[in-house]
Amino acid sequence: MSIAVVPNRKSPPAILLREAYREDGKSKSLTLANLTLWKPERIDARVRALKGEFDGVGGNVDPINDRVFGVLFVLKAIADRIGITKALGNDRNGKLALFLILARIANHGSRLSAVRWARKHCVGELLGLRDFNENDLYKAMDRLSERQERIEKTLYREYVNKKGSPNILAPV
């Protein structure tokens, strides 16, 4: 199996999951699925899996089937649902900031241990992050502190939009 990128003249290329076979001495391919609408991170993870990059990672543990994948997946879904992902942004710094939050909840370690932890598990596939180190995480933290007020306002607006009114505690 392989991922084929088929160019189109006036539209984005089609991304297809294909299987090669031979028939009457000729090479042919069968399209198994159209992946064009998939997120790039998901396509990248599929390409890496087909190359065998996950074989033998962490011993006999498949990082996609590891318990950590479930924890990260659920935490990311919660972050998406309550608006944290949107408030942090979809750029590299936003993804690193989201990773810092998820790692703090799931791993409870230092920045260096978070980087090591990310290499053993499916962080790159789930968040679309590749090749980062603890210095990148510290830079992301600096960016977070610069944008803290804007992020808080974005989260508050998201909360008010979902709930309909601000949650103000009445004095006792």
Which of residues 161 and 109 earns the better pLDDT score?
161
Q: Over the stretch 95-135, which tens digit does the pLDDT of each residue have?
A: 999 998 888 888 777 777 788 878 777 777 788 887 888 88
Q: Tell me the DSSP string of 138-156.
A: HHHHHHHHHTHHHHHHHHH
6-33 burial: b if 16+ Cβ within 10 Å, else e: eeeeeeeeebbbbeeeeeeeeeeeeeee
Q: What is the pLDDT of residue 144?
A: 87
Query: What mean pLDDT value characterizes the chain?
Result: 81
Q: Over the stretch 139-150, which tens digit does the pLDDT of each residue have?
A: 988 888 898 899
Look up residue 129 and give its two tokens: 């992050």
Which residues, 6 or more positions from 153, have their beta carbon under 8 angstroms from its beta carbon? Answer: none
pTM reported for the whole predicted model: 0.55
Q: Show me where the domains of the chain are located.
A: 2-37, 67-162
Q: What is the pLDDT of residue 32?
A: 87
